[in-house]
Amino acid sequence: MSQYVRAQHGPSVERPFTVMEGLVAIVGNELNFPLPPGATWPGLAALPGRMAERVQLVGTYIVPGTRITPHVTPRDLESGVAYVHGLLLLLSQGLERLAVLERTVHPRSLNQTVAGAMVGTVRERLAKWLSDRYALSRKST
Protein backbone atom coordinates (compact mmCIF):
# COMPACT_ATOMS: atom_id res chain seq x y z
CA MET A 1 0.00 0.00 0.00
CA SER A 2 1.27 3.44 -0.92
CA GLN A 3 2.36 5.82 1.83
CA TYR A 4 1.29 8.80 -0.26
CA VAL A 5 -2.09 10.52 -0.12
CA ARG A 6 -3.59 10.49 -3.60
CA ALA A 7 -4.61 13.87 -4.90
CA GLN A 8 -7.67 13.94 -7.12
CA HIS A 9 -8.33 16.02 -10.19
CA GLY A 10 -10.01 19.19 -9.03
CA PRO A 11 -12.42 21.74 -10.45
CA SER A 12 -12.12 23.26 -13.90
CA VAL A 13 -9.80 26.24 -14.32
CA GLU A 14 -12.42 27.78 -16.59
CA ARG A 15 -14.80 28.63 -13.75
CA PRO A 16 -14.23 30.57 -10.52
CA PHE A 17 -14.27 28.89 -7.11
CA THR A 18 -13.19 29.57 -3.53
CA VAL A 19 -11.34 27.04 -1.38
CA MET A 20 -13.25 26.56 1.87
CA GLU A 21 -10.90 24.00 3.43
CA GLY A 22 -8.05 21.84 2.22
CA LEU A 23 -5.79 22.77 -0.65
CA VAL A 24 -6.06 23.07 -4.43
CA ALA A 25 -2.99 22.95 -6.66
CA ILE A 26 -3.23 24.97 -9.86
CA VAL A 27 -1.08 23.26 -12.48
CA GLY A 28 0.32 25.00 -15.55
CA ASN A 29 2.84 24.23 -18.25
CA GLU A 30 5.49 26.32 -16.48
CA LEU A 31 3.92 27.64 -13.27
CA ASN A 32 2.27 25.70 -10.46
CA PHE A 33 0.88 27.27 -7.32
CA PRO A 34 -1.33 26.44 -4.33
CA LEU A 35 -4.70 27.86 -3.39
CA PRO A 36 -5.01 27.67 0.41
CA PRO A 37 -8.29 27.97 2.35
CA GLY A 38 -9.93 31.34 1.72
CA ALA A 39 -8.26 31.83 -1.68
CA THR A 40 -10.36 32.29 -4.80
CA TRP A 41 -9.48 31.06 -8.25
CA PRO A 42 -11.10 33.69 -10.52
CA GLY A 43 -11.49 31.48 -13.59
CA LEU A 44 -9.65 32.03 -16.86
CA ALA A 45 -12.14 34.58 -18.21
CA ALA A 46 -11.44 36.94 -15.30
CA LEU A 47 -7.68 37.01 -15.90
CA PRO A 48 -6.36 39.78 -18.15
CA GLY A 49 -5.22 38.39 -21.52
CA ARG A 50 -1.48 38.51 -20.95
CA MET A 51 -1.87 37.04 -17.47
CA ALA A 52 -3.97 34.14 -18.78
CA GLU A 53 -1.39 33.51 -21.50
CA ARG A 54 1.40 33.44 -18.93
CA VAL A 55 -0.15 30.89 -16.58
CA GLN A 56 -0.97 28.40 -19.41
CA LEU A 57 -3.05 26.23 -17.13
CA VAL A 58 -3.40 22.50 -17.51
CA GLY A 59 -5.69 21.68 -14.59
CA THR A 60 -6.14 21.41 -10.85
CA TYR A 61 -5.62 18.84 -8.12
CA ILE A 62 -7.19 18.70 -4.68
CA VAL A 63 -6.09 16.91 -1.54
CA PRO A 64 -8.62 14.65 0.17
CA GLY A 65 -11.04 16.56 2.39
CA THR A 66 -10.88 19.72 0.32
CA ARG A 67 -14.12 21.69 0.04
CA ILE A 68 -14.69 24.37 -2.56
CA THR A 69 -17.63 26.57 -3.44
CA PRO A 70 -18.54 27.92 -6.88
CA HIS A 71 -20.31 30.88 -5.23
CA VAL A 72 -17.93 33.84 -5.47
CA THR A 73 -18.60 37.54 -5.16
CA PRO A 74 -17.18 40.26 -7.44
CA ARG A 75 -14.77 41.11 -4.59
CA ASP A 76 -13.66 37.45 -4.42
CA LEU A 77 -12.92 37.55 -8.16
CA GLU A 78 -10.91 40.75 -7.73
CA SER A 79 -8.94 39.16 -4.89
CA GLY A 80 -8.35 36.04 -6.97
CA VAL A 81 -6.90 38.05 -9.86
CA ALA A 82 -4.71 39.97 -7.40
CA TYR A 83 -3.46 36.68 -5.90
CA VAL A 84 -2.51 35.35 -9.35
CA HIS A 85 -0.82 38.67 -10.21
CA GLY A 86 1.24 38.51 -7.00
CA LEU A 87 2.23 34.92 -7.64
CA LEU A 88 3.32 35.78 -11.16
CA LEU A 89 5.53 38.51 -9.74
CA LEU A 90 7.22 35.97 -7.47
CA LEU A 91 7.30 32.93 -9.74
CA SER A 92 8.47 34.59 -12.94
CA GLN A 93 12.16 34.80 -13.70
CA GLY A 94 14.37 37.87 -14.09
CA LEU A 95 13.15 40.35 -16.65
CA GLU A 96 9.75 38.59 -16.83
CA ARG A 97 9.10 39.92 -13.33
CA LEU A 98 9.51 43.47 -14.59
CA ALA A 99 7.01 42.82 -17.37
CA VAL A 100 4.48 41.63 -14.78
CA LEU A 101 5.13 44.67 -12.57
CA GLU A 102 4.84 47.03 -15.55
CA ARG A 103 1.23 45.93 -16.05
CA THR A 104 0.50 47.90 -12.88
CA VAL A 105 3.21 50.53 -12.47
CA HIS A 106 6.44 51.54 -14.18
CA PRO A 107 9.33 50.20 -12.05
CA ARG A 108 11.33 53.40 -12.43
CA SER A 109 8.49 55.36 -10.81
CA LEU A 110 9.19 53.52 -7.54
CA ASN A 111 12.08 53.61 -5.11
CA GLN A 112 14.37 50.74 -6.22
CA THR A 113 14.17 49.03 -2.83
CA VAL A 114 10.36 49.06 -3.02
CA ALA A 115 10.29 47.98 -6.68
CA GLY A 116 12.74 45.19 -5.83
CA ALA A 117 10.47 43.99 -3.03
CA MET A 118 7.52 44.02 -5.47
CA VAL A 119 9.31 41.57 -7.74
CA GLY A 120 10.91 39.49 -5.00
CA THR A 121 14.50 40.63 -5.34
CA VAL A 122 17.00 43.06 -3.84
CA ARG A 123 17.63 46.61 -5.02
CA GLU A 124 20.99 45.77 -6.64
CA ARG A 125 19.56 42.96 -8.78
CA LEU A 126 16.61 45.15 -9.77
CA ALA A 127 19.00 47.92 -10.84
CA LYS A 128 20.79 45.41 -13.10
CA TRP A 129 17.49 44.16 -14.57
CA LEU A 130 16.37 47.73 -15.25
CA SER A 131 19.69 48.58 -16.85
CA ASP A 132 19.60 45.46 -19.04
CA ARG A 133 15.93 45.88 -19.97
CA TYR A 134 16.14 49.53 -20.98
CA ALA A 135 19.47 49.03 -22.78
CA LEU A 136 17.74 46.35 -24.88
CA SER A 137 14.75 48.60 -25.60
CA ARG A 138 17.03 51.48 -26.71
CA LYS A 139 18.86 49.15 -29.12
CA SER A 140 15.60 47.94 -30.71
CA THR A 141 14.32 51.47 -31.43
Decide if pLDDT at 131 tops 90. Answer: no
pLDDT band, residue 1 (cuts 50/70/90): very low
Decide if pLDDT at 54 tops 80. Answer: no
User: For 62-118, what is each residue's pLDDT tens digit?
Assistant: 988 899 999 999 999 999 999 988 888 777 777 777 777 777 777 778 888 888 888
Report CA 119 to chain centroid distance, whole Å: 12
Q: In the beta sheet, which residues pair with residue 41?
A: 17
Ramachandran quadrant class, 22 (left: phi over 0; alpha: psi -120 to 50; beta: rest): left
Q: What is the pLDDT of residue 80?
A: 94
Which 3 state secondary structure label does DSSP give 17? strand
User: For 5-25, what is each residue's pLDDT tens digit?
Assistant: 566 778 888 899 999 999 999
- Percent helix, strand, coil in the chain (nearest 5)? 45, 20, 35
Q: What is the pLDDT of residue 6?
A: 63
Q: What is the DSSP letter of 40?
A: E
User: For 119-129, what is each residue's pLDDT tens digit?
Assistant: 778 888 888 88
Smallest Cα–Cα separation from 35: which of 54, 53, 55?
A: 55
Q: Listing from the earlier edge strand, what are the strands of the sheet with 67-69?
A: 40-41, 17-21, 67-69
Q: pTM, whole model, 2 decimals?
A: 0.71
